[in-house]
Amino acid sequence: MFPLRTLALGALALPLAAHANDPYSYAQPDEVRVTHLDLQLKLDFPQRQLDGQATLTLDWKDPKASALVLDTRDLRIASVEAVDAGGKRTPLRYALAPRDKQLGSKLTIQTPQRPHEVRIVYTTSPEASGLQWLPPAQTADKKQPFMFSQSESIHARSWVPLQDSPAIRFTYDADVSAPADTRVAMSAPNDPVHALNGHFSFTQTHPIPSYLLAIAAGDLAVKETGPRSAVYAEPSVVGKAAHEFEDTEKMIATAEQLYGPYRWGRYDILVLPPSFPYGGMENPNMTFATPTVLVGDKSLVSLVAHELAHSWSGNLITAASWRDIWLNEGITTYVQGRITEALYGTRQANEEALLDIHSLQKELPDMPENAQRLAPKPGHVDADDSLSDVAYNKGSWFLRTLEQRFGRETFDNYLKSYFDHFAFQSITTEQMLDFLKPNLIDKYPGKMSWAEVQDWVYGTGIPKNAPLPQSPSFASIDQQRSAFLAGTLSADKLDAKGWNTQEWMYFLDGLPDAPPLAKMQQIDAAWHLTGTPNAEIGMRWYVHAINAGDKAAWPAAAEHMTRIGRLYLTMPLYAALVKTPDGLAFAEQVYAKAKSGYHPLTQQAVEGLIAKAKAGKH
């Protein structure tokens, strides 16, 4: 997943009912594991639901086990049956436990004969946390409804009954029925010339964890970008997206040169409607991407580099638990930087790394000590909250430190061997460290002590000797910003005509949290940032304008908040508005108009923020 910039949904206590194997799952993989999913789905747009049949192939680990325990959330179970080798079906007794707010409902199926397969017929809820159903009016072309999933972290259970833990990997087949003229895509190899005949079949031959199970359906056109890559998007968007992502094949080849073969076959990109709550999601074979990166100059295509890099770190090797998620995101962010550097130069790669580092440095002081660790101690952390700046940016900073100490060639060879050794496995931090010590630290003595490694992984904060990338352009921007704020350089004299997106982001990030109103007005008069189509720049600009008290920017900020459902680009504006009574009232008005176009996760985040602000006013 593309960086969230610590926009977590609020720390939640770990439910005591969760099983010890994974605190976020009821599954008991020590007794039985799902190895394959055969999925049949019918899309029902009017009812906003999936009618499903999930047949789970089981590997019984404990000969004394007599029950299969699955994760579900808001599923209506119609029947559960055992299926023998000959296809004979036998009804099974089952119990659906009361709904837990975080985990959903435990489904316990009595299986005294330990069958080879169990088949569950079910229907999803219109409010399924892992699905969003959009009417035509909320799509780009406004012609057909649209549906897409977001299973990470623990939302797959809201549309398929399964063992919803990253430690459990399975292959899958799926047959999907959809209305005519609707294209369906899944996290498996997709056929770009498939007829729109209402029936789609998919086969994922590589074992994946449940959070990488994905589906989308709507008015989708396809434009190929290479021999093994294509862009899927609504017809009015697909051309722009194909241009923005035309370097995809080059990215794949670059990553292969660095870290070994791309093992998934095709790599396609699906550009979703603006309500998608994240930057990107690394679903195997089919990255789901936000349209907010389509700015026309390829300045934000590191999103593709990031999601592609997950094909090695995250999808090929998966964190065994959400506590270990830095193994996915930290390594991926490092690999993303290497791909960006190879294709777009050291300048852009270093600027993006420094933006990540500064974001982390800003967030760390307000984080609990446990949240500052790459591998936290057991505590009160929600699965979604594990996706923080620490996992992404401290993790990648650790890898850059290893590269600096051991040399790029040595570290590249090590990382390639790591990907080969653990391919298609889910591992813990400790397994990664057990491989790191003999194959890098001990193999090249004197480069880095084991105590330093442990400080990076288990310590709080950032080690004092962490290396910083160099950026002459950022150094120049620091000088200009200081002169502007001191009044010795006017806004129109800023040397900003040639600034790229990252440099504008850095300039705005370095302004005071609540800059003087006059200064903001001078910048806008000179550079016309209000109304910018670049969402990264816009998010930063509107937050500063709101904090400065510039109500003239509020209508454009509202348009940004209504048009974009991505958490990272929307939540900071709400957070800035709710600080004042007038701003809180305005935020509520904007949300009332925007709510229907937001993903359930975005709705949850905004409503929680507004409720907290209103409670604080009383």
Point out the residues that are catalytic: 307, 392
Q: How far apart are CA 232 and CA 216, in angstroms?
A: 11
Name residues whose C-beta falls within 8 Å of residue 264's C-beta, 6 or more positions apart in sequence: 189, 206, 284, 285, 311, 315
CA distances from 175 to 37, 78, 204 (A): 11, 19, 12
Q: How far apart are CA 97 and CA 254, in angstroms?
A: 49
Length of the chain as a residue count: 618
CA distances from 317 to 150, 326, 438, 526 (A): 20, 12, 19, 48
Name residues whose C-beta falls within 8 Å of residue 361's C-beta, 6 or more positions apart in sequence: 462
Sheet holding 146-149, edge to edge: 131-134, 146-149, 215-218, 183-186
Q: How far apart are CA 546 and CA 517, in angstroms?
A: 9
Beta bridge partners of 38: 55, 173
Structure tokens at 220: 């989708």
For residues 107 and 96, the answer to whether their CB atoms sit within 8 Å is yes
The torsion region of residue 176 among left (phi > 0), alpha (psi -120 to 50) and beta comes to beta
Helix (H, G, I), strand (E, B) or coil at 388: coil
The letter for the amino acid at 180 is A
- Which is it for strands 146-149 and 215-218: parallel, antiparallel or unpaired? antiparallel
Burial of 246 (0-12, 13-18, 19+ CB in 10 A): middle
Burial of 171 (0-12, 13-18, 19+ CB in 10 A): middle
The single-letter DSSP state of residue 511 is: S
Closest Cα partner for 333 from 365, 316, 357?
357
Phi then psi for residue 218, to 5 deg, are 170, -160
| H helix intervals, 528-565 | 535-548, 554-563
Q: How far apart are CA 284 and CA 315, in angstroms?
A: 7
| Residue written as token pair 């009232």 | 585
Closest Cα partner for 388 from 404, 399, 403, 374?
374
Burial of 404 (0-12, 13-18, 19+ CB in 10 A): middle
For residues 601 and 566, the answer to whether their CB atoms sit within 8 Å is no
Q: How far apart are CA 273 and CA 232, in angstroms?
A: 11
Percent helix, strand, coil in the chain, to 5, is: 40, 20, 40
